[in-house]
Structure 1
Amino acid sequence: MTKPFVIGIAGGSGSGKTYFLRSLYKYFDQDQLVIISQDDYYIPVGELTPEENKLYNFDLPRTIDNDKFQSDVEKLLHWESVLKKEYTFNNPNAIPRMLECRPAPIVVIEGLFIFHFAGINQILDMRIFIDAHEELALKRRLKRDQEERGYSHEDIMYKWENHVMPAYSEFLLPHKLKADIIIDNNEIEDIDFIGFKHAVEERLLKKNTP
């Protein structure tokens, strides 16, 4: 069968990737695309104390099991289903779900390091960079980590300044200008999802035209 069309979507913390990805299902049929997230491939580090969790840098490529990540991506490209356990970000109160990714004509790979990992980057047919103003991204990060993960303001700011922004500058920002589409996600209503869908369909048509 024809290799699926592969879209890579990356963006820094607080850029609004989660909203963008969820919205895709409103514009594409459920069986038309599958999303596989780098976040579900963090290498388990066991239970950490609050202080250990604060100091542990999750924003480095080595925290990801990239071999397993790429192996599962390859399965989808060969029209095989992938079954994996949801990563719960070391939240002891969260019960991980078993997630099934079923193959589809469009495979969406998302994550912070997908452009940095050469093996993943080279299989992408389209690269999307989700961008947002730093102040807004931090505001979103503060809201999420306080409400969903129970982190203190101090811990969030420590990670932002010492982990998040250095990793963004080193592993993601250098790829921004190489992206096929840069989406400014500062205001939800400004995202042209219809235009994005048309761009994907146009590229898909060209790919499948002899």
Structure 2
Amino acid sequence: MSSEVSTGAGRTARGRIERRQAILDGAFTVFARRGYAQACVKEIAQEAGVAKPTVYNHLTDKESLYREAVEAAADRIGAQRIAVVEQLRDVAADSDPRAPLTMVAHGLLQAFDSEDARAVRQLACAQAAQFPDLAVTVRERTALQVRCALADRLARLVLAGRLRPCDPELAAEHFLVLLTGPLEYRPDAAPDTLGDAAVDIFLRAYGT
């Protein structure tokens, strides 16, 4: 008897979590498409596949929808970027780091320039006056956490003698800037070309 009750409660909890995620995903899609001012809760409910009152049962107002939708998207983007960086975990201590760094560079460039990543940056900045801390939160979750993860991986390469002794956080920052900087000036350049160039410059500075 208690097992059935527990299972039912578990299904209810999972259902609520899934509905909330659907609402956040739908809200992000609508806000990215229309912007904050033009988006409406009715359209968000339709995008999420739920009734309008269900949206308000999970998130009390449009402001909460906006903030939590952008933050959830930032978390997802940050996790994708960290997953790319974590590919450096499997680099053998005695191997040349160029190939794995190039693989990571290509993966990060795709993540940096994805449609969702561009939408998150735009939404965080567009309503800066109304949500002054949102851009800071997005930066923390999509940029600073990635830099921290990359610094940890680079520190291990330094300890293995594959990179010269350095401040790993500064090295990680330099690597990321070498990737993101050209996107501002050459947005139409092939990502692989930008990634290869970034790794080449990075290893000239930090390679052994």
TM-score, normalised to structure 1's length?
A: 0.26
Greater share of helix: 2
TM-score, normalised to structure 2's length?
A: 0.26
Higher relative contact order (CA 8 A, sep 6+): 1
